[in-house]
Amino acid sequence: MNTDFVQSASVQDLLDRASGLDTEGGDPRLQHILRDLIESVMTLIVKHDISESEFWKAVTFLQQGADEFGLLVPGIGLEHFMDLYMDAKDAEAGRIGGTPRTIEGPLYVADAPIVEGDVDLSQDADDTGTLYMNGAIRGMEGEPVKGALLHVWHANSKGFYSHFDPTGTQSPFNNRRRIRIGDDGRYAFHSRLPSGYSVPPGGAAETLMHALGRHGSRPAHVHFFIEAPGYRTLTTQINFGDDPFAADDFAFGTREGLLPVPNRQGDAAYIAFDFVLQKADQVDDERFSARTRAVA
């Protein structure tokens, strides 16, 4: 059978009806996108001659893996693809330069404590070294960004994030802060050194990665949002350039320009890293994406 089957009148009619395109009401954008989505799935069913058993296996996988969608989406490269797509649109519009964006991941928690100065992100003890990170937050002309709020979050030495720690041993907002930046645009923090991590054992993401012959591990990294009046909100992260997974991140979050190699001295690791923000061109630039995020 070839995929022309999907173009047959009966299947095309089914698509119109299933997406609501033959009705008066409904959201037209959603109707057209969903129609294309279902048609794409039908086409791949025919292209790969997917059997009924394989089809239901996939449905069951998605049902049972629903709570790991936040890991599956980066794992299959779609979250990184969104970055590539936004980068390409920016380039078309002449908006180039500045610190690269990269994936947010599913583990941000809103309303972390707001702090100032050279801050300690960690309130929990941890059997690991200390990360010292500092640098400037600048605009494209080199100017210090005024009024910035730097959101920072990272895992502990076991690779677990507060609020998502299966051992239940971390206190709320451990390794999570929002740092209010002064007019000089400088930031500095220290914390218990994070480790890389892997997707939960036995979960949907690991099941899929293993079925693909891949692993589900990430290098040690630190996540950031930076928001500042007049500037484009940046979602990014730095990954440790000397981590064994630095060039092999299952989530595709590592990017050129975001892989500083820590200067390690004993059990201390020092990273100097400057952030460069683009100016906001429109109101939306200063907003966060509408992604649903955890609230403590």
Task: List interacting residues with Fe ion (CB under 5 A).
Answer: 105
Q: Which is nearer to Fe ion, 75 or 105 (CB)?
A: 105
What dihedral angle (degrees, nearest 10) is formed by the CA atoms of 218, 222, 225, 231?
-110
Q: Which is nearer to Fe ion, 71 or 148 (CB)?
A: 71
Question: C-beta of 291: minimal distance to Fe ion in Å?
Answer: 15
Q: Which is nearer to Fe ion, 139 or 196 (CB)?
A: 196
Beta strands in the chain (DSSP E): 109-110, 114-116, 119-120, 130-139, 149-153, 176-180, 186-192, 197-198, 217-218, 221-227, 234-239, 263-265, 268-272, 275-277, 294-295
Question: C-beta of 155: minimal distance to Fe ion in Å?
Answer: 6
Please answer whether residues 286 and 233 qualify as being in contact, where contact means their C-beta atoms are separated by less than 8 angstroms. Answer: yes
| Residue 89 backbone phi and psi in degrees, to 5 | -65, -40
Question: C-beta of 175: minimal distance to Fe ion in Å?
Answer: 11
List the structure tokens of 275. Answer: 């952030």
Question: C-beta of 236: minimal distance to Fe ion in Å?
Answer: 12
3-class state of residue 80 by DSSP? helix
How far is 22 from 11, CA to CA, in rounded Å? 14
Phi/psi class of residue 175: alpha, beta or left (left: φ > 0; alpha: ψ in -120 to 50)?
left
Q: Which is nearer to Fe ion, 74 or 185 (CB)?
A: 74
Residue 31, amino acid: Q
How far is 179 from 188, CA to CA, in rounded Å? 9
The rounded radius of gyration (Å) of the Cα atoms in the chain is: 22
Q: Which is nearer to Fe ion, 105 or 185 (CB)?
A: 105
Question: C-beta of 294: minimal distance to Fe ion in Å?
Answer: 13
Tokens 């600048």 correspond to what residue?
138
Q: Which is nearer to Fe ion, 148 or 220 (CB)?
A: 220
Residue least distant from Fe ion (Cβ): 105
Q: Which is nearer to Fe ion, 107 or 276 (CB)?
A: 107
Question: C-beta of 16: minimal distance to Fe ion in Å?
Answer: 42
Q: How many CB atoms lie within 10 A of CB 292?
A: 7
Question: C-beta of 121: minimal distance to Fe ion in Å?
Answer: 14
Q: How far is the first Cα of the chain from the last one, in angstroms, to the nearest whole number? A: 52
Q: Which is nearer to Fe ion, 208 or 251 (CB)?
A: 251
List the structure tokens of 251. Answer: 């989530």
Question: C-beta of 93: minimal distance to Fe ion in Å?
Answer: 29
